[in-house]
Structure 1
Amino acid sequence: MPYRPIREVIGQRPFPTVSPGSTIRNSSIIMREMRSSAVLVVEKGMLLGIVTERDIVFRVVSLGLDPAATSVESVMTTSVQTIHEDKPFGHALHLMYEGGFRHMPVVDDNGIPVGLLAAHDALDIDGLQLGHDLVRREELTVIL
């Protein structure tokens, strides 16, 4: 699992993006619809930043700002750690752990976002492996 390339982990799944002028409310709706806890802020194909659930709670809601009037640009994290789609998944998890964040944009050779990796992706992969292992054990039990 840790040596799988990130491109295999994220596959072709869509990832949420918004423009910098989008509102926090609009971004939250997109996040809900796509079942994502973060959204990438992109303009003309280039990554400008990221907004996570934590950003919304700590930088908007807790300060009493209006989500319908607050722009993504005003609260996004701009110094975003990215990772290339060819890197091993374990490397991404290590960077996320060391950096204390749960989301990492995945980029191609040109720095264009091609996906969004989340820490919970590790649980999804482990869950799949567990499922395969259980099926294999049941098959062996029937044979023996």
Structure 2
Amino acid sequence: MSVGRICTRSVDVAAPDESAQAAAIRMKTRNVGTLVVLDQNQCPIGIVTDRDLVLCVVAKGLDPTMTELEVVMSTLPESVTENTPIEAAIGIMRRGAHRRLPVVDDDGQLVGLVTLDDVLSLLSEEFEEIGELVRKEAPTSSTL
């Protein structure tokens, strides 16, 4: 199974020169905790989370109206494509301690975001299906 099956297609984005305050307002308005930061070619260059804003701006006493996301964001060491096997994406997440990975097309442009929650939802569905199979195959007292 590939990442394209489980990734989120509607992704909130920001520019690297956007202020931390503008990003926080967008997160609040859109009810999201993550923004993917894109370059001028619509290619992901970083991710900023609500936690990043708290730890890198608020806790350091920086002015959120003057602090650009480029300073706050986590730079992207890796991204995946829609065809990347889920197992490979999990490996990337585990090795880099990433909870989110941008999904890009062949030109490196953003097409989605795969998160640890997406993977856990899939695993939960798989375990439910396995549980159903086990229940159907389990002998009952009347068949013993």
User: TM-score when scaled to structure 1?
Assistant: 0.77
1:121 aligns to 2:107 (yes or no): no
Find the residue that maps to 2:84 and give its secondary structure: coil
Q: Deviations over 1:55-108 (max 9, x none)?
A: 222211210113233211222223432112210112111111111121111111
What is the total number of aligned residue pairs between the two structures? 136
Match of 2:4? 7
Structure 1 vs Structure 2: percent identity of aligned residues? 30
The alignment yields a C-alpha RMSD, in angstroms, of 2.6
Name the CA distance, whole Å, in 2 between partners of 1:34 and 1:88. 30
Q: How does 1:50-61 map to 2 (within 5 A)?
A: 50-61=47-58
Q: How does 1:1-144 map to 2 (within 5 A)?
A: 4-10=1-7, 13-44=9-40, 45-129=42-126
Unaligned runs of 5+ in 1: none
Q: Which amino acid aligns with 1:103?
A: R
Name the CA distance, whole Å, in 1 between partners of 2:14 and 2:98. 20
Unaligned runs of 5+ in 2: none
Contact in 2 for aligned 1:15/1:34 (Cα 8 Å)? no
Larger Rg: 2
Contact in 2 for aligned 1:38/1:103 (Cα 8 Å)? no
Contact in 2 for aligned 1:108/1:114 (Cα 8 Å)? yes
